[in-house]
A and B are shown apart, each in its own frame.
Chain A
Amino acid sequence: MKVVHVTEIIDGKGLGALADSELELVEVHAAECADCAEALFAARFTQGLLRVHAETVTAEPPAFFETRVLATIREKYVERLPFWSFRRWWQASYGMVGAMVLIAAVLGMLTLFAPAANDQGDMSSYSLYSTEADVLNKRSARDLSREQLLEVIYSGKKDQGKR
């Protein structure tokens, strides 16, 4: 008759989880089989060792562990947030919002104090400058020779055409 060893049962579920009938089968076989008796002894010894080990394995967090974790988080994530992080952009937007408020304030002041541009006519009088103003600014037209005057007028028209 073929001998059926019981190491599969021993290692399969763990000794603690064996049903009474399974444990009986293991013990009856181990009484007759030296190899399985050795395996059963080693399995019980291993289980005992692991229970002792479990009793001794403890670790407590040190005092203020949460403070250390937060410090690491700030160092790692908050100050070097990824490009796509919402919080990074939120933080960066503080400066931008400030600048926008300042610009809005300056524009507001200008609207209050600058003269109002009412119609197109007024605007065209401001744009008169080009040729004539160039001449008037440079020196009096009377000081220029006819050729120089034509030259200035001509080049002014050329500039206007370019615009």
Chain B
Amino acid sequence: MRLADEYGTMSEIDLARQAAGGDESAFAEIVKRFSPRVFSYSARFFKRHSLVEEAAQEVFLKAYTQLANYEGRGSLEGWLTRITVTTCINILRSTKPQSELTVSELSDDESEWLEERLMNAASLDHQTHEDKLIAADLVWRVLETLPPDESFLIQMLEGEGATVKEVARMTGWSEAKIKTKAFRVRRRMRESIQKLLNAKDGRLRKG
């Protein structure tokens, strides 16, 4: 029986090897070490925390059954990130994306927030925490109208400022595929927001 401390200092490859050989404590250490990252990526796909947790569980179950395939080429963290992205996309693939968001579907908060941004030359800097939450909620609703892979892609490229190369490493997709998808999703997202802004702007002018 090994001491818990020993697992805490063990290298990724040793942990993976031990866990693949049936050492439960080694696998528990893998979950402990990498679950913050798995949660952080799953959170790009699901708004509700309970769904994020379910997806993270699924990721580690998959990792457990596939540990023998991890041969130490690349980091364990990278390997788990790719499993996370694939698992979340597969979970969401069976659910139909929401239909396009129209201005009439906006909540009062979202509506008010948009009007304010339009009157203040759309500045998104120096917002209160509450403002940020309203904005984030609005983004979620637009993201839910996109296929899951495209939603993840635009969050990484535009939200996190990741490069195409970095996304390729996270997802295992080719750079050419990412560029094609990126163009499509940028246009879709920009047009959705543009429609909302136009509808709001038109109403503001009329009012």
Contact = CB atoms under 8 A, between A and B. Distances in A.
Interface in B10-51: 22, 24, 27-29, 31-32, 35-36, 38-40, 42-44, 49
Given A14-B157, A46-B158, A52-B135, A59 B61 contact: no
B146 to A, nearest CB: 12
Contacts of B39: 59-61
B168 interface: no
A38 B198 CA distance: 9
Contact of A50 (B57, B64, B117, B159): B159
Interface in B174-206: 182-183, 186-187, 189-191, 193-194, 197-198
Interface in A12-56: 12, 14, 16, 38-39, 41-56
A11 B186 contact: yes
Given A49-B193, A60-B39, 19 more contacts: A14-B158, A38-B194, A45-B197, A46-B189, A46-B193, A49-B135, A49-B139, A50-B154, A50-B155, A51-B158, A52-B135, A54-B155, A59-B52, A61-B39, A66-B29, A66-B31, A66-B35, A69-B60, A76-B61
B161 A16 contact: yes
Interface in A98-129: none
B35 A65 contact: yes
A90 to B, nearest CB: 9
A67 interface: yes
Nearest to A45: B122
B44 A57 contact: yes
B84 to A, nearest CB: 12
Interface of A: 7, 10-12, 14, 16, 38-39, 41-62, 65-70, 72-73, 76-77, 87
Contact of A56 (B36, B40, B52, B133): B133
Interface size class of B (residues with CB under 8 A): 35 or more
10 contacts: A39-B190, A44-B122, A49-B124, A53-B140, A56-B132, A57-B155, A58-B43, A60-B39, A69-B28, A70-B28
A88 to B, nearest CB: 12
Contacts, number: 130
Contacts of A77: 61, 64-65
Nearest to A43: B190
B138 interface: yes
Which 4 pairs between the two chains have the least Cβ-Cβ distance?
A: A54-B159, A48-B124, A42-B194, A59-B43
Nearest to B184: A11
A53 B57 contact: no
A72 B61 contact: yes
Given A39-B190, A42-B197, A70-B27, A59 B42 contact: yes
